Amino acid sequence: MQKALVWLRRDLRLYDQAALHHALKNNSQVWLAFIFDTDILTPLLKGELDANGLKHDRRVDFIWQGLQKIDEELGQQGTGLIVQVGNPTQSIPQIAKDLGVNTVYTNRDYEPSAIARDSLVQSSLEQMGIGFESFKDQVIFEKKEILTNSNTVFSIFTPYKNSWLRNLQEKDIAAYDCTPKKGQLSPIPPKLEAPLPSLESMGFSSTGIESYLPPGSEAGQQFLEDFLPRIDQYQIGRNFPAIKGVSYLSTHLRFGMLSIRGLVREAHRRMLAGSMGATIWLSELIWRDFYFMILSNHPRLAEGAAFKPDYDNIQWESGPHAKKLFKAWCEGKTGYPLVDAAMHQLNQSGYMHNRLRMVVASFLTKDLGIDWRWGERYFAEHLNDFELSSNNGGWQWASSSGCDAQPYFRIFNPITQSEKFDPEGKFIRRYLPQLDKLSKKSIHAPWQAGHIELEAAGILLGRDYSQPIVNHDQARKNTLVRYSVVKKISAE
């Protein structure tokens, strides 16, 4: 009788799941486990704690609630989810041994630290005579599956996308059947039976994230069904943060509560039917594959290296002044309303609209002259949908140091971005209510408003709202000088 353990990580669902499918296909008894990895949790516990000495982290809460839903679903089939807190390199081999399984099944991860972890787990299992099998599940194409005509890795997105679409076949996006046979999902043995560890026992507090971002596959599916009637206008709506124009699926996708194959199937079908919105949305999903591919082929990026090495010669602002500027950016006190409103959105909810991610990243690197790695780390700490590959790719794109990045001389003007994408100031008013009484003209740059309008709105700059911490026109000139070192090196 073949027995298997499915090790869940960032694939928190029981449908269309590659590792679960193969485990059920090849074994008569199957169990599922998740490990809250202390190597990941311990760094998260640093920093500010609440009055009870607990850390507020929406992602840990989101995962924890998602696991509860999986446990409940498995409970209806006579089993449950084995959940432990510890180091997976020790926990998984021990669980596998206690269950007496033949093989551990899991889905591949592409971050260097995860690859190293999985290698240690595999080695330990092999010493015990237990197999380790991993599968592609969180991307459509991985590693070196999409290559240039000269068999090299792509570094430019558009030709990668074109090749990705040419290579796409039905089998690449077909759903995996994960229906167990009766009794195949086995009860947890008494030795391993235990309630899910509480958030508090791990040092974390409840965050209330479920009030606006309910976790689990069912909730993810509801978000998808809510988005599909809007998908045909996605190419327009996605740029305006004050309207409901995007999918809001990124966090469920990040933790595998939704299947990437299901999303691509839906987008691709609609693209073939002529939907421009679905075409653009599919392109965004392909960007996700692109950044996974880039990271898996260039692991040095996880260590903070610029994709274009010449850009590591840029002299960023440093010292107390840089820290002061960065603090103002983090707290949404730059004096540029669209930037500040976006940072308030992030700090309050863990979400930031994609257009605004580009705006605030450009502002940090090219208006304030702050190293993009500072912003990358801040997003990594605060984004609900934080994904190393996409976060790194996005920040390097904005700072012009990445593959297929924004040219260094192309610098977002935060005022014109605001006027173009939040013309009525609705988004700004939502997150900066102190500016609510300003006209739709003045709200994008309050310091340009007259004294009479500011007084009538009850605003004293420097007291009710920040003065601009930098002059954009001067900052633009400084950036062109700062980046000239790259132009010089490239010419040599």
DSSP 413: -
Vertex 203, ends 199 and 205: CA angle to 5°? 55
453: how many CB neighbours lie within 10 A of its CB? 16
Name the token pair of 143. 């590693």
Active-site residue 281, yes or no?
Answer: no
DSSP 431: H
Q: Which of 287, 329, 374, 397 is catalytic?
A: 287
Smallest CA-to-CA distance from 289 within 59, 110, 105, 134 is with 110
**Cα-based torsion angle of the residue sequence 401, 404, 408, 412 in order, rounded to the nearest 10 degrees:** -110
Q: How is 141-163 classified by DSSP, letter by letter?
A: S-TTSSB-TTS-B--SHHHHHHH
Active-site residue 354, yes or no?
Answer: yes
Active-site residue 287, yes or no?
Answer: yes
Q: Which of 111, 145, 297, 316 is catalytic?
A: 316
Active-site residue 31, yes or no?
Answer: no
Vertex 303, ends 301 and 307: CA angle to 5°? 25
Q: How is 300-340 classified by DSSP, letter by letter?
A: GGGGT--SSGGGGG-----HHHHHHHHHHHHHT-SS-HHHH
Structural contact between residues 365 and 398, judged by C-beta atoms closer than 8 angstroms = yes
**Would you put residue 65 in left (φ > 0), alpha (ψ -120 to 50) or beta?**
alpha
Q: Which residue(s) pair with 85 in the sheet?
A: 36
- The β-bridge relationship of strands 3-8 and 29-37 is parallel
Active-site residue 447, yes or no?
Answer: no
H or E stretch including 6? strand 3-8
The residue type found at 151 is N
Q: Which residue(s) pair with 33 in the sheet?
A: 7, 82
Q: Which of 64, 164, 329, 372 is catalytic?
A: 372
Cβ neighbours for 487, distance < 8 A, ≥ 6 positions apart: none
Active-site residue 372, yes or no?
Answer: yes
Cβ neighbours for 338, distance < 8 A, ≥ 6 positions apart: 356, 359, 414, 415, 417, 418, 421, 422, 427, 428, 444
193: how many CB neighbours lie within 10 A of its CB? 10
Q: Return d(Cα 19, Cα 4) in angstroms, integer.
A: 10
Q: Which residue(s) pair with 105 in the sheet?
A: 6, 133
Q: Return d(Cα 106, Cα 142) in angstroms, integer.
A: 16
Q: Which of 239, 347, 354, 478 is catalytic?
A: 354
Name the token pair of 287. 């960007």
Length of the chain: 492
Q: Which of 142, 284, 419, 453 is catalytic?
A: 284
> Active-site residue numbers?
284, 287, 316, 354, 372, 395
